[in-house]
Structure 1
């Protein structure tokens, strides 16, 4: 499994000031994070995943090889999840990919959870 770092959080997930806030609206999922870095600088970030086709949350302690993903949004290439979606409905999958390819993103928060999202795109807002 190949990975590419898309974004590194400006705060450490071990220093979040409140629980991650996850909101669902239609096919959009937003993850809001608020916290501090080691210099006590406060940051807020909103990760907006658009046209979501798969979302999973797992206790990070039960995930294999997740250390690379802590406090980062990774794009996962050669994703087994995308392969499973394709095998479940090949015709629909091929039709969706004609417009824009699905991408698999992964995020792990220390002391919280891990998230896997398959969607069309991501928008990142530093608030």
Structure 2
């Protein structure tokens, strides 16, 4: 016999504009902009001790990150990731996306765009 399982339907999340969003990120000096952003994906690994560890998915740029509508949501997700991490320094932080946006300037000094 064949078995077929449909994934559970979930309502689509309304995408928050980056200018209003909050992101979860951790400082990584070797990353292109110095941060790795949580992209919303994760891999769960069960350790030999029976504990579950979450390996969060990462993105290098704010525009690729999972967006949260409020600072409270981002802080709660950062706390959840830190609680399920092997890192003891609790590196994940929730911040407004605007904190990661940079002004891009041509060599002539002309402002190009605000880009993250």
Same fold per TM (> 0.5)? Answer: no
Q: Which has the higher helix share?
A: 1
> Of the two, which has the highest radius of gyration?
2
Q: Compute the TM-score of the two structures, normalised by the length of structure 1.
A: 0.24
Q: Compute the TM-score of the two structures, normalised by the length of structure 2.
A: 0.25
Higher relative contact order (CA 8 A, sep 6+): 1
Q: Which has the higher strand share?
A: 1
